Structure 1
Amino acid sequence: MTYQTSLHKFLANSKTYQNEAFLHQPIDGVWHTLTFADVEQQARTIASGLLSQGFERGDRIGIFSKNCAEWFIVDLAIMMAGMVSVPIYSTAGAKTIRYVIEHSAMKAMFIGKLDSFDAIEQSLTDELLTISFPYPTTACKSSWQNWLTTYKPLEETHSPLPDECMSIVYTSGTTGNPKGVVISYLNIGSAASSTCKLVNASRNDRFMSYLPLAHITERSIVECAAYESAIQVYFVESLDTFIDDLQHASPTFFLSVPRLWAKFQAQIFIKMPAKKLKLLLSLPIIGKLVAKKIRLKLGLSATRVFASGSAPIAKSLLVWYQKIGINISEGWGMTETSGLSCGNFPFTSSRLGTIGVPVDCVKMKLSEQQEILISGDAVFKEYYLNPEATEKEFTDNWFHTGDKGEITNDGAYKIVGRIKEQFKTSKGKYVVPVPIEGMLCRNSVIEQVCVMGLGLKQPIALVVLGEGIDRHDNSIQQGLLATLEEVNNELESHQRLDFIYVCAHPWDIENELLTPTLKLKRSSIEQFYSDKLPRTNETKVVVEL
């Protein structure tokens, strides 16, 4: 199948919808709208600025910022100039930032909205040109506004070929240095086009952009999908204004990650206890009104497509959301596959707990070891400057995803764990943690869970409870004990959990127990708690002091 590049699609839509709204950016509580013409004019001007520095086609240009309209604009500008974008997570530490700058041989970096300037200020070199976005940020050598007034819009933009490198996207690095995934225009164009087709995206849709744009999912499913189908995009000003911004945008498509879906549920329970809500939802007429009110309060009353990605989500959580009229389609993809590769779209209730079926730009199959293999237009061709890793991950053009899977009777794929995450107990038995973690999440007080047990007689579960839940509350502990017994009754003897350890503090990016995409850093979690765990335990629920 032939796909147009994201740049070509944007330029075509900009011509069609020239003076119509495209990007919506809140600044100090006031919404600012940019038309397609505004975005194109600014992108052409920034592209001209890049070329005026003497940079050449193929040079790598960094983007280091939280999501904002300028992120989209500079990405388009880099494409227009024929250069290669290198996004870095706004939460990345100094070590990662320095590594990406050096490894990619970056020539310039655009720096924008950040929660902290410490890491970036420790990482910059005198040789690197820095340009600030129009927000309070670290000191840079030049500024966005200066470039907009100094340079004239580029008249003739680069016209990329499908196999050209559009971006080098560095993985979030659960172990070791991140790998640079070379993403071509064909890769991301096919993924964005297939996503739009799958969810019937159109000019009438409204998307929210708040998950990290440095991650391929947001880049492909939101940014490049917006170029593909002329979708309006709304940004979030800050964490404090998230719900207000969401209510203002009233998105028709809403993508989130398992941890945030769990947090939304916890916030609902704070306002209405789970038992009372369950009772109200069971009442025929009142239940529908309550569910509608919840969706309205969340800003999701107009949403027609709900999605979850980045990590496995508990089936029990998906079932609970169904009760309030939020049918979440689980999707799966990797940086190496340019975003969404498999999904439960359109939403099919019987496929809850699966990642659905492959999108039309890829093919998938299982190896003899039950590993998911994937090939197709959206699959990358190489890791940047790392031919050994590239060769290792491919067999006859099939990419080894590292995910262990199953195929249901109706052809849907189900992730049952990571090949490398399974561990062997001291009894010599292998345990795959992800399915057990999903079973534990039936208990809605559990927000985060990590099953571990390398070298132990039996696996154990580390859990973090939802915000506002007292881990010392006896009724909470009794509920966890009941969940443990219920789950253990469904497991084989070597899989049964010895005890649940209730952690005092959440795992997050700042304490380096989560990746920037909110995936568990299992080895870091195990190492962090290794000295805290009891050597002998008299109870099945152990609470960290």
Structure 2
Amino acid sequence: MLVDPILQLEKQNPRAPCLYRLQGDQWISFSRADVIDAVHRLCTQWQTDGLKSGQRILVLMENRPEWAVTAVACNRYGLVLVPAYTTHQEHEIEYLLDRSQASAVVTSVGELSDRLKSIDSASQILWYTADDQSKILFPNLTQRNDKLVPNQDPDSLYALIPTSGTNGQPKLVELTQNNIFANVTSILTVLRDAEIDQPHRFLSFLPLAHAYEHMAGLYLPLHLGGEIFYCERLDKLATLMADIKPTLMTAVPRLYELLYGRITAQVTKSGRLKQKIFQTAINLGNQSKLTLKDHCTNWICERLVRNKVRKRFGGRLQYFVSGGAALNPEISRFFRGLGVGILQGYGQTEASPVISVNRPGSARAETVGPALPEVEVRLTDEGELLVRGENVMRGYWQDPEATEATIRDGWLYTGDLAEIDPDGHIRIVGRLKDLIVNSGGDNVAPAPIEQEITIYPEVDQVIVVGDGKPSLSALICLNSEFETDDPDTTIASVLKRYNSNKPPLLQVRKGLLLDEPCTIENGLLTPTQKIKRSLVVKHYQEAIDALY
């Protein structure tokens, strides 16, 4: 069972610190015993309230210890977890409640519970609320009943996790306990092979509603016997990293892009000597062999550049792990050169979610690494990546047609175009549904182009278009921190630099300035920071047509 290793670790060392919540400027620590006691009390309360195994429970909370307690309790009791994002609006929460037919909800005091109160269907189900002021996890629950019979079915449904919903309403992915357990076990094998499977210190800031953080930022640390510090506000992230000193961190490419932009902006403002030393550090840090002269120069770079960067991240960070979307290889090389490795992986919610990851010591920036242990991959004749393993979902909740279209003969059809190198490393080309077919019949994947253009300091967001057109164009949102009196000239300059070394097929001939950034609030960005391409194109269709 998914929860068994967590219970065993608690018996071995019940007083070991496990979860942390920031209250004011102080960290409140909860031991393994505190966590497991809260799990038992929550299960007992559910039993007292008449909830049955298999019923659904919606979770709408910030990243916090009570989130982890609720997830583990669902494992133990047999309730089905339905995670919602804190950025979800009322209609999105209502959709999840109605679609899952939830019988209960767990939320936190304040703005999130107020949002729930405005939804009629939420008033008709059971509520459980986390208190910000208490130093006890769920202090108002009943006393624990140690005679309660736990769920013992590893194939029981554990969670209904929403997909990103980039093309409409999200589907609910059915993940069993065994799905998550298989994924955690495979990751543990990778860490063990690299001899970095010690109890790590994690800083959790990606939404726990995201399948990636749910596995890598919740169950993986708990199975390692590690500590999890919860960051509820991203504006505190830089300060907290220096304070907490994490050893492993999971994040999406957007974070690395922001860090890259801030660091390079600071370097640009420094003198030429510092710029030269900084660039030398990156170059030498990406070389596998160094001459005697290089070793001497590298020693200087280590002291003047890399040590300062590591200190900025707490000084103990072994690796960043990137997932959730494609990472620009240039950003990966940038951080590797600065002495902070990024292991890029790949996955989907439907695969619990990790499918592949680069290994320490053999990471290749342009790939997402080889498949995890016990996970099979292959390509169709069209180049679509297929996946098979215990981590593959049971199906989509109450949607047999979508399930049959996605899982065929045991293989998960990912919808991603990919290439597999002879050594097993996987290269993701792009989404099949996003493929641009120009008027000449040529196929172009927009994702690699967007990755490259986004790395320019002037650019914040970009969407490449050109389906049925003679050439490519780009919808661009400029970086708010970049000052310009002439946006059109700035965009033209960006495209000129990008096009300078590209073949005609991949050149972006024209650019269009977006009226506003794609955000969660305007409905053009998912909670996982993915642009809703189809909605953006639809919104700007007339302007796009006017470019040709």
Would you say same fold, with TM above 0.5?
Answer: yes
Q: Counterpart of 1:423?
A: 436
Q: Counterpart of 1:400?
A: 413
Q: Does 1:530 align with 2:544?
A: no
Q: Structure 2 CA distance, aligned partners of 1:302 and 1:144? A: 29
**Residues 202, 290 of structure 1: alpha-carbon distance in 2 compared, 3 angstrom cutoff:** same
Q: Counterpart of 1:7?
A: 3
Tell me if structure 1 keeps the 8 A contact 2:510–2:547.
no
Tell me if structure 2 keeps the 8 A contact 1:56–1:83.
yes
Q: Does 1:490 align with 2:502?
A: yes
Q: Structure 2 CA distance, aligned partners of 1:114 and 1:147? A: 17
Q: Structure 2 CA distance, aligned partners of 1:473 and 1:323? A: 34
- The Cα of 1:41 is off from its aligned counterpart by 0.6
Tell me if structure 2 keeps the 8 A contact 1:60–1:86.
yes
- The Cα of 1:95 is off from its aligned counterpart by 2.2
Q: How many residues align?
A: 521
Q: Structure 2 CA distance, aligned partners of 1:74 and 1:199? A: 27
Q: Structure 2 CA distance, aligned partners of 1:118 and 1:451? A: 39
* Equivalent residue in structure 1 for 2:474, among 446, 458, 461: 461
Q: Structure 2 CA distance, aligned partners of 1:513 and 1:115? A: 23
Query: Higher mean Cα deviation, 5-14 or 456-465?
Result: 456-465
Tell me if structure 2 keeps the 8 A contact 1:417–1:435.
yes
Q: Counterpart of 1:376?
A: 389
User: The residue matched to 1:524 in structure 2 has which SS?
Assistant: helix
Q: Supply the AA of the counterpart residue of 2:155.
A: D
Query: Higher mean Cα deviation, 34-43 or 462-471?
Result: 462-471
Tell me if structure 2 keeps the 8 A contact 1:41–1:153.
no
Q: Counterpart of 2:86?
A: 90
Q: Structure 2 CA distance, aligned partners of 1:255 and 1:482? A: 35
Q: Counterpart of 1:130?
A: 127
* Equivalent residue in structure 2 for 1:367, among 373, 380, 390: 380
Q: Does 1:169 align with 2:156?
A: no
Q: Structure 2 CA distance, aligned partners of 1:384 and 1:34? A: 35
- The Cα of 1:274 is off from its aligned counterpart by 7.1
Q: Supply the AA of the counterpart residue of 1:291.
A: R
Q: Structure 2 CA distance, aligned partners of 1:371 and 1:167? A: 27
Q: Structure 2 CA distance, aligned partners of 1:325 and 1:41? A: 41
Say what the alpha-carbon RMSD is for the aligned residues: 2.4
Counterparts in 2 of 1:16-31, with a 5 A limit?
16-31=12-27
**Residues 224, 144 of structure 1: alpha-carbon distance in 2 compared, 3 angstrom cutoff:** closer
Q: Structure 2 CA distance, aligned partners of 1:15 and 1:243? A: 35
Counterparts in 2 of 1:14-163, with a 5 A limit?
14-112=10-108, 119-125=115-121, 126-135=123-132, 145=138, 147-148=140-141, 150-163=142-155
Q: Structure 1 CA distance, aligned partners of 2:493 and 2:51? A: 61
Q: Counterpart of 2:189?
A: 197
Q: Counterpart of 1:313?
A: 327
User: The residue matched to 2:509 in structure 1 has which SS?
Assistant: coil
Q: Supply the AA of the counterpart residue of 2:175.
A: I
Tell me if structure 2 keeps the 8 A contact 1:209–1:233.
yes
Tell me if structure 1 keeps the 8 A contact 2:13–2:32.
yes
Query: Higher mean Cα deviation, 250-259 or 527-536?
Result: 527-536
Q: Counterpart of 1:293?
A: 308
- The Cα of 1:103 is off from its aligned counterpart by 1.5
Query: Higher mean Cα deviation, 224-233 or 449-458?
Result: 449-458
User: The residue matched to 1:233 in structure 2 has which SS?
Assistant: strand
User: The residue matched to 2:131 in structure 1 has which SS?
Assistant: coil
- The Cα of 1:230 is off from its aligned counterpart by 0.9
Q: Structure 2 CA distance, aligned partners of 1:154 and 1:445? A: 59
Q: Counterpart of 1:140?
A: none
- The Cα of 1:112 is off from its aligned counterpart by 2.1
* Equivalent residue in structure 2 for 1:245, among 240, 256, 274: 240
Q: Does 1:355 align with 2:407?
A: no
**Residues 171, 152 of structure 1: alpha-carbon distance in 2 compared, 3 angstrom cutoff:** same
Tell me if structure 2 keeps the 8 A contact 1:373–1:398.
yes
Q: Counterpart of 2:446?
A: 433
Q: Structure 2 CA distance, aligned partners of 1:242 and 1:356? A: 28
Q: Structure 1 CA distance, aligned partners of 2:87 and 2:183? A: 26
**Residues 202, 406 of structure 1: alpha-carbon distance in 2 compared, 3 angstrom cutoff:** closer
Q: Structure 1 CA distance, aligned partners of 2:337 and 2:56? A: 47
Q: Structure 2 CA distance, aligned partners of 1:452 and 1:440? A: 13
User: The residue matched to 1:240 in structure 2 has which SS?
Assistant: helix
**Residues 55, 115 of structure 1: alpha-carbon distance in 2 compared, 3 angstrom cutoff:** closer
Question: What do residues 183-227 of structure 1 show as CA deviations (whole Å, max 9, x unaligned)?
Answer: 111100010111122123545311111101111111111211122
* Equivalent residue in structure 2 for 1:229, among 195, 202, 224: 224
Tell me if structure 2 keeps the 8 A contact 1:42–1:153.
no
Query: Higher mean Cα deviation, 275-284 or 191-200?
Result: 275-284
Q: Structure 1 CA distance, aligned partners of 2:344 and 2:110? A: 30
User: The residue matched to 1:461 in structure 2 has which SS?
Assistant: strand
Q: Supply the AA of the counterpart residue of 1:10.
A: I
Q: Does 1:507 align with 2:518?
A: yes
User: The residue matched to 2:433 in structure 1 has which SS?
Assistant: coil
Q: Counterpart of 2:292?
A: none
| TM-score relative to the length of structure 1 | 0.89
Q: Counterpart of 1:449?
A: 462
Q: Structure 1 CA distance, aligned partners of 2:499 and 2:174? A: 47
% identical equivalent positions: 27
Name stretches of at least 5 consecutive residues in structure 1 with no aligned partner.
Answer: 137-142, 538-545
**Residues 25, 400 of structure 1: alpha-carbon distance in 2 compared, 3 angstrom cutoff:** same
Q: Does 1:409 align with 2:409?
A: no
Tell me if structure 2 keeps the 8 A contact 1:367–1:373.
yes
Q: Structure 1 CA distance, aligned partners of 2:216 and 2:139? A: 32
Q: Counterpart of 2:259?
A: 264
- The Cα of 1:100 is off from its aligned counterpart by 1.3
Q: Structure 1 CA distance, aligned partners of 2:26 and 2:512? A: 45
Q: Supply the AA of the counterpart residue of 1:268.
A: I
Q: Supply the AA of the counterpart residue of 1:84.
A: V
User: The residue matched to 1:360 in structure 2 has which SS?
Assistant: coil
